[in-house]
Amino acid sequence: MALRSLHQYCQHPATRDTPIIVLSTKEEPQIKSAAFAAGPNDYVVKLPDTVELAARVRYHSRYYQNLMQRDEAYRALRQSQQQLLEINLELQRLTHSDGLTGPSNRRRFDDYLNAEWDRSAQEHTAVGMLMIDVDNFKSYNDTYGHVAGDDVLKLVARTIESSLMQSTDLAARFGGEEFAVVSPATSMHALRMLGEKIRIAVQALNVPHAGTTTGRVTISVGGASDATVGEGGPKQLLEAADLALYRA
């Protein structure tokens, strides 16, 4: 019964770390072995003198305190590491994001386009690119003000991102009122569908724009695929998409 209680005390989450000294009159090895198997820190036969008992209690108390301090230090270290990881992820996000509109910035776009171009060459797949321009944006700024213009850019950026069809698609602010999308492993047909999906989604926002014939904010979209530009590299793909935007 005593051994069962000792075992439960040593295993219970609330008490298992508390030092336990067993005081017993039994010196038999089997009893000592059974007692230690239950998990106590010490086993004392008969009541020792006061000095010895105090020394044992002090030793185990000090060990317990050191154990608690170590565990607390580990917890603090894990918390600091988690906080550092979160800070680094946020810094990485800010480094790669456009400060105004939220999606990737031009630097991140260039890096991603170059990487996906190389990947497409290795895997013999196509990489597509869309160039997107907010129509008559200067007129919108002149009519409604730059604050409203910034709000429109943010709204268009969110709409572009929410319209992407693959987890590998990357939307970026290319500059000013221009945005771009890199779509890996995409056929020209799928790229056209994506561009049309984005164009319709922005038009459906019904943001008023008195400076256009439609009376609302719209975008123009041009697309190109590396399958259509040959081996000229990412720069030629960008130029082809920009030309397609100009013709849109």
pLDDT at 242 exceeding the cut of 70: yes
Q: Which residues of 165-198 are buried (b: 16+ CB within 10 A; e: fewer)?
A: eeeebbbbbbeebbbbbbbbebeeebbbebbeeb
Q: Given this model, what pLDDT does residue 76 score?
A: 83
Select from 56, 68, 52 the least CA-distant residue to 18.
Answer: 68
- Measured distance CA(47)–CA(91) in Å, rounded: 63
Burial (CB count within 10 angstroms: exposed 0-12, middle 13-18, buried 19+), residue 82: exposed
Which residue is it, tokens 């067993």? Answer: 22
Please list the active-site residues.
Answer: 177
Q: Given this model, what pLDDT does residue 54 score?
A: 73
9-49 confidence digits (pLDDT tens): 667 676 666 777 666 666 767 766 766 676 666 767 776 67
Task: Mention the CATH class of domain 106-247.
Answer: alpha beta
The domain 2-78 is classified under which CATH number: 3.40.50.2300, 3.50.30.10, 2.60.260.20, 2.40.30.10?
Answer: 3.40.50.2300
pLDDT at 84 exceeding the cut of 60: yes
Domains 2-78 and 106-247 share a fold: no
134-192 confidence digits (pLDDT tens): 999 999 999 999 999 999 999 999 999 999 999 999 999 999 999 999 999 999 999 99
Ramachandran class of 185: left when φ > 0, alpha when ψ lies in -120 to 50, beta otherwise: left
4-19 confidence digits (pLDDT tens): 666 666 676 766 667 7
Q: What are the residue ranges spanned by the domains of the chain?
A: 2-78, 106-247
